[in-house]
Chain A
Amino acid sequence: MTEILMREAIKKGLEEALDKDSNVLIMGEDIGEYGGAYAVTDGFLSKFGPERIKDTPISEATFIGTGIGAAAAGLRPIIELMSISFSLVGFDQIVNMAANIRYMSGGQIDVPMVIRAPTGAGVQLAATHSQSFETWLAEVPGIFCVCPSNPKDALGLLRTSIKNNNPVIFAEPALLYGLKGEVPDEYYEIPLGSASINQEGNDISLLSYGAGMSILHETSEILSKKNISCEIIDLRSLSPIDYTTIGESVKKTNKLVAVDTARKNGGIMAEVVANVQESFNDWLDGPIIRIGANDVPWPYNKNLEAEAYPSSEKIADSILEKLI
């Protein structure tokens, strides 16, 4: 095991892919000369050259679509967006093109492409830079969607995302680039569509992903003082969703709390909760609690942003009120 930062884990995954396969190239705004807005690709330009580390104009629709065309012609492009909020500028290319092209060609054309994008609130970037559109993209058939919460998962998921022959949205919580974590020294992969149990427990299943995971651990600590044992599940993959792992945990604890750091309204946890209700209702001993960010545009002010963001106190209070 080696302890590294989240951004270093992602960098390692990218570097491996570039080393291993000459068809891999990276495109995005300021990823080359500048070194990447979050310094993930720092040093790549000098190591791999301008043919493979391609600085693009500020034209999200066009460089995402360029990735699609390059993938359709046999390359394995990785696209870096500076923010998942900017995916909106290229949404037509992601949804109408990348996701649909295989189906509407009757399976003739593959798009092996990864779109990496920082996501989420918590760093005072206000309304246009704090959103979490992985939850929108997870709805679209034809693409996969993952979001790691720690360096180990980031590396394992990135490896499988790059090897996958379909478009993959790889959402990186902006709050976590500086998070330290242990990463195995031997090679490993994490399959898309696999949730993980990060902590075993007996009384309540707590579920989240990405930046929500640290909040779950805080919540668990609060509740442990009241002798409530929490099982903590990391969704990791928003499309497809691992209902087997979630279901097994619900069968054990009979209680589910689903937490999203994205806005609650229409979020991915609404989908998860509805499916758990349908499939595992007989095992549930109480209402499923769903907590997300407030349904407001993200504010700039620190206190207001914190107010909109889910907190372990809010979650613990809600659990004590409704489930215990």
Chain B
Amino acid sequence: MATLKEEKNKRVKKTDQEKNEMLELFRQMYLIRQFELACGENYTKGNIRGFLHLYIGQEATAVGSISCLNDEDYIITHYRDHGHALARGLDVNRSMAELFGKKTGLSKGKGGSMHLFDSSKKFMGGHAIVGGQFPVATGLALACQYKKTGGLVVCYFGDGSTNQGTYHETLNLASVWNLPILFILENNKYGMGSAIDRVRAGGEDFYTGVDTYDIPAAQVNGMDVLAVKEATEIAVKKVRQTGGPFYLECKTFRFVGHSLADGQKYRKNDEITEWEKQDPLMKFPEWIKSAGIATDKDLEKIKSEVNKIVESSVEFAESSDEPSKSELNDDIYKK
């Protein structure tokens, strides 16, 4: 897979469209970062409650991969779901309002941080039982296959979920039924506080184990948004051609704790500092500038626009109404 450096050498001349695509990737990653920082701040203030799992550090994975999808493709993910939601274009105000538990939230304040949904964008949830999303992804893919929609399903999951039975069952079934699923592993090396090497037999690379299920697999640097994009383009093309599954492992890292309640005592020495050198929000803009795609001024303009969007989302969430008590019994059953 290409690295940023190779990309730089390979594509000196870029079309306007390519430049705009690059800037859009930056905009989305910056949006996620700022959104997450605002979430952290509002968690401290008590505006956001429950569990809050931030995506800080992993932005390149969601943004790079989701940029390759069409409208008819489904996305289903885990509880660290803000990044995927924003990359898919879910409304920023309604996303923030959901975290605040407000009536204007995506799920009317009934789901919270771990359960973001927008069926109109085929965003089928954040799911908070580790590994619970695998079987549902299989069903979404079965529907794509059965109805011949041409769509596929991207199923995001973390390394921690690979020890659940549903992981293995779903890889098996997706292969046996040849279902159009792109499995994207976000290998951030820790399932909550448990480092992979403490809980997994077979080393720290996962993609090599997938041939057991006869599924093509690849690994990519998940901190490098262009590498993720390129790898996903190849993977998506393969899924559309064969109608069957593909497995993409993104090596990534979260710069913050598992949740806001995490003191990160389990981290190895200097590990965070080392990974922060690969921060996509630092490396990618550096590359954009050195490749002559945009100047500091252009990037500052994007940042300033995004900052306003995030600030307004907090204002929107704060000023929105709480759901009324009469809504307690709504939405349980479809009439």
Contacts and interface: CB of A to CB of B under 8 A. Distances in A.
Interface of A: 25, 51, 54, 56-57, 59, 61-75, 77, 92-93, 96-97, 101-110, 112, 141-142, 144, 165-166
B173 interface: yes
B132 interface: yes
7 contacts: A59-B165, A59-B169, A61-B165, A62-B170, A73-B74, A73-B143, A97-B132
B110 interface: yes
Given A110-B334, A166-B334, A68 B173 contact: no
A270 B137 CA distance: 38
Given A70-B139, A70-B142, A102-B333, A62 B132 contact: no
Given A107-B330, A165-B335, 12 more contacts: A51-B146, A59-B173, A68-B135, A69-B139, A70-B139, A70-B146, A73-B142, A93-B136, A104-B117, A105-B110, A105-B115, A105-B331
B110 A70 contact: no
B144 interface: yes
A69 B334 contact: no
Contacts of B107: 104-106, 108
Contact of A105 (B117, B169, B176): B117
B172 interface: yes
Interface stretch (B62-70, B118-126, B298-306, B314-322): B118-126
A70 B140 CA distance: 5
B253 interface: no
A25 B142 CA distance: 11
Nearest to B173: A62
Given A57-B173, A73-B74, A93 B132 contact: yes
User: Which 10 pairs show the lowest CB-CB distances between chains A and B?
Assistant: A65-B135, A69-B139, A73-B143, A106-B107, A107-B331, A105-B117, A106-B108, A62-B169, A59-B169, A70-B139
Nearest to B331: A107
Interface string B130-161: 00101111111111101100000000000000
Which of A57, A70, A165 gathers the greatest number of chain B CB atoms within 10 Å? A70
Given A62-B138, A141-B332, A108 B118 contact: yes
Interface in B75-128: 76, 105-111, 115, 117-120, 124-125, 127
Contact of A104 (B115, B119, B172): B115
B166 interface: yes
A228 B166 CA distance: 55
A69 B166 contact: no
Nearest to B114: A104
B169 A69 contact: no
A63 B74 contact: no
B110 A67 contact: no
Interface residues of B, number: 46
Given A65-B134, A102-B334, A57 B172 contact: yes
A115 to B, nearest CB: 13
Contacts of B139: 65-73, 77
Contacts of B146: 25, 51, 70, 75
Given A57-B173, A62-B173, A97-B132, A75 B332 contact: no
B125 to A, nearest CB: 7
B147 A74 contact: yes
B333 A75 contact: no
B129 interface: yes
B13 to A, nearest CB: 42
Given A66-B138, A103-B332, A61 B117 contact: no
Nearest to B119: A108
B286 to A, nearest CB: 39
Which of A67, A72, A96 gathers the greatest number of chain B CB atoms within 10 Å? A72
A103 B108 CA distance: 10
A165 B331 CA distance: 12
B108 A57 contact: no
Contacts of A25: 146
A94 to B, nearest CB: 11
B111 A72 contact: no
A59 B172 CA distance: 10
Contacts of B147: 73-75
A72 B132 contact: no
B125 A105 contact: yes
B143 A74 contact: yes
Contacts of B144: 73
A306 B265 CA distance: 57
A51 B125 CA distance: 27
B106 A65 contact: no
A324 to B, nearest CB: 42
A61 B169 contact: yes
A62 B166 contact: yes
A212 B331 CA distance: 34
A104 B140 contact: no
A61 B135 contact: yes
B320 to A, nearest CB: 14
Contacts of B127: 97
B181 to A, nearest CB: 10
A69 B176 contact: no
A181 to B, nearest CB: 30
B254 to A, nearest CB: 24
A56 B141 contact: no
B333 A69 contact: no
Interface in B186-218: none
B170 A106 contact: no
Contacts of A105: 106-107, 110-111, 115, 117, 119, 125, 331
